Amino acid sequence: MFEKNLHEFFEYLSAEKNYSDLTVKSYREDLMQFSGFLSEQKIDLLNRVDHIVIRSFLSALMEKEYAKKSILRKLAAIKSFFRFLYNRGIIENNPGDYVASPKSEKILPEFLFEQELVDMIESLNGDSFSAIRDRALIEVLYSTGARVSELVSMNAPDIDFTSGLVKVKGKGNKERIVALGAKSINALNKYLIERTQILKKYKKMNEALFLNQHGNRLTDRGVRYIFDNLVKGTSLKKKISPHVIRHSFATHMLEHGCDLRVVQEFLGHVSLSTTQIYTHIGDQKLKQVYKECHPHS
């Protein structure tokens, strides 16, 4: 029965809630961990789980020193599952209603200062396919604020060079249109010549925008590998990742006076509160500049 309910729940997340495969996978792992905890405690999932049992599971995670963010995600999966069971009439009471979510820690995302990012991009000045592609890739990331999953799903026909716009497919297959800056368009024009040569070399037809050396669509892992190698070639002490570029995009846009709701639209955030974290980054930068420049700091 439990496996059947789980299967129906995951079908619901995919078909009705339109959750990504990655999110559904995370929910599955979290709920299987919760199921394992119940088995250890000899507790029946449908008939004996109450808010005390759920809190005991959370306490066990805390004792194992799980990050608060991970605990919050697992609790969200559990509450969503029991809400699903309750709404379908499978259980009479929803134990998740009696478990409050602990406040999440507000961790400010890493970002690069403008000159740091410029220096990093300028370091990609080779004439090889990979160097030209990597520069175009990072220019597009910085120009659009796209997620890495959105970047690798871009297709060459998604770009309108006349208007300087690109179609981005975000979470839940929601599409949005974002602008491309002049530097990213220049880098793309140079890359597309190399892209055509790679496709001819391997006699392939592939609409993917960013390709690997064999003419196949570049994957999330491939992009992260590019960034790992990029770190080795710079003097930056900060962590560099596709998400750091996304955070830098949002931070720089706000610093130059862009409206918060416009940044929200660019990033594809559903809630404005998600975008507001970048206003705190601005405060952090002000403090850092003050410390560096004020004689009495």
- Which residues are part of the catalytic machinery? 147, 171, 243, 246, 269, 278
Give, rounded to a whole angstrom, the gap between the first and last alpha carbons of the chain.
64
Contact (CB, 8 A) for 72 and 80: no
Q: Enter the tokens of residue 237.
A: 């002490």
Residue with tokens 């066990």: 60
Q: Enter the tokens of residue 262.
A: 């416009």
Measured over all CA atoms, what is the biggest interatomic distance in the chain, rounded to whole angstroms? 69
Contact (CB, 8 A) for 197 and 127: no
Burial tier of 38 (Cβ tally within 10 Å: 0-12, 13-18, 19+): middle
Instruction: Mention every residue, 6+ apart, whose C-beta is less than 8 A from residue 241.
Output: 110, 224, 227
Contact (CB, 8 A) for 166 and 177: yes
Measured CA to CA, the distance from residue 184 to residue 180 in angstroms comes to 6
Query: b or e along 199-217 (b: 16 or more beta carbons within 10 Å of the residue's beta carbon)?
Result: eeeeeeeeebbbbbeebeb
Q: Enter the tokens of residue 98.
A: 């009696």
Q: Enter the tokens of residue 144.
A: 């659009």
Residue with tokens 């919760």: 34
Instruction: Mention every residue, 6+ apart, whose C-beta is less than 8 A from residue 195.
Output: 133, 156, 209, 211
Residue with tokens 């992260």: 224
